[in-house]
Structure formats: structure tokens, C-alpha cells
Amino acid sequence: QVQLQESGPGLVRPSETLSLTCNVSGGSISPYFWSWIRQSPGKGLEWIGYVFYSGSTYYNPSLRSRVTMSVDTSKNQFSLKLHSVTAADTAMYFCARGGGRLRYIDYWGQGTLVTVSS
Amino acid sequence: DIVLTQSPGTLSLSPGERATLSCRTSLSVSNTYLAWSQHRPGQAPRLLIYGASNRATGIPDRFSGSGSGTDFTLTISRLEPEDFAVYYCHQYGSAPLTFGQGTKVEIK
């Protein structure tokens, strides 16, 4: 059974970079797409983008200018960086499998809450 | 972006009753690239249905999906206690992937 676990700071200061890592266990990073999704308090789910196991990426145009995703196949991990954060980036962040090129989201992490505050 | 509208926002039902959840899309979803997931607090969300009507591995047959084009439905034939949760649809046929706003199924 594939399991995903997010890790990273729960508090980030405004204008800084939010950095999260997702550890994948019970399966290989290859040959899948890996997504990040967030849910702001009281709001809906927003897909941030995906990284393919090869390293290619696609980002939601709404966040494209501030997002960087990467993958480390040797560690079975993938990562998210969101630059220049504001309070509007406070959300529960989920990592997930799928979301690229006609692939549904089939496995999710439990999510990690990130608060942007000084 | 394709906008997904789920209704109702909240469904109040008793265990054993039938739940019918709707997901309507602003544009036709090609090849029924529509999925449903179940979200419970403190747990990893779980995929229920993909391709509009295909049950994911291990999903009980009381869950069924139907629909095409712009109109999709998730049906839970007889609610079990563990089915009270929030359900989201998402379309993956057109980038960016988008989600509905969710339907909460609560105990009446």
C-alpha cells in the first residue's frame, strides 16, 4: 500500500519560502506523477502542480511564478517550494500521486498545516 | 479552468439511507476523466471512483459513480457510520486539474 507523508516547517514568515517534502513509502517514485494540493481554511482544494519522476513539471498558472517542484528518486521523495509567501498561502498542504497528463489523484498524504505569519 | 460545482453542500441522512451527490462541470469533461474522493478529518483522503464509474481498489460496492459530459453523480446505496465525511470530485481531463467545493454527508 502506497503511503505518503508530508514534512516541513509549520510556520513560515511572510515573504520567505515555504518548503515541504513528501516521503513515499510502499511503492516507487517511478514511473508516476506526483502532485501538491492545498486547502486554505474554510475554502476548497487547489491543485498546485505536478512533478514527474523524470523531473519534468507542470504548475497551475495561478501559482506558476512562485512554485518550484523537484524529485529525488534515490530517496523516494519529492518537494515543493513556494516563494514569497503571504498570509493567503496559509493552508493545509497535501502531497499526492497522480494529477499529470490524464492521471487521477489516487493516493494522498494526511496533509500538513502551514501558517504564514510573522 | 473547468469549474466543478457540487451539490448539495451538506446532506443530512441517517445510517442505512441512500446518498446521492452531484458534480456538474462548466465544460464537458473529455472521456469521463472525473474522480471522487472521500475526506475524513485526520486521515489521508481516499480515492473512491475514477473514470466517472470505476471503483478504486478495495472500495465497497455500495459506492457507485455515473455520468458523462458535464453531469456526474456519486451514489452511496446504504450509508455506513464510516461514510459520514466530505466528498470531493475532481476532473483530470484538462489542465489545470480542478476540484469541486465538496459535499459534506452528515448524520441526521
Chain-chain contact of A102 with B33 (C-beta, under 8 angstroms): yes
Compute the distance between CA of residue A86 and CA of residue A83 in angstroms, rounded to an integer. 9
**Residue A114 and residue A8 in contact, taking contact as beta carbons nearer than 8 Å:** yes
SS3 sequence, A85-105?
CCHHHCEEEEEEECCCCCCCC
What is the model's pLDDT at position A101?
A: 82
Determine how many CB atoms are found less than 10 A away from the CB of residue A83.
15
Distance from CA of B4 to the nearest CA of A (A): 11
Chain A touched by B97 (CB under 8 Å):
yes
A residues 25-84 closer than 8 Å to B (CB): 35, 37, 44-47, 49, 58, 60-62
**Closest CA of chain A from B25, distance in Å:** 15
Are the beta carbons of A4 and B43 separated by less than 8 Å? no
The tens digit of pLDDT for each residue in A50-100 reads 999 999 999 999 999 999 999 999 999 999 999 999 999 999 999 999 998
Label residue B51 exposed, middle or buried (CB < 10 Å: 0-12, 13-18, 19+).
middle
What is the pLDDT, as a whole number, of residue A42? 80
Instruction: Give residue A41's pLDDT.
Output: 84
Residue B31 has pLDDT above 80, yes or no: no
User: Average model confidence (pLDDT) for chain A?
Assistant: 96
Contact call for A106 and B47, based on CB within 8 A: yes
pLDDT digits (tens, 9 = 90+) for B50-67: 999 999 999 999 999 999
Percent over 70 (pLDDT), chain A: 100
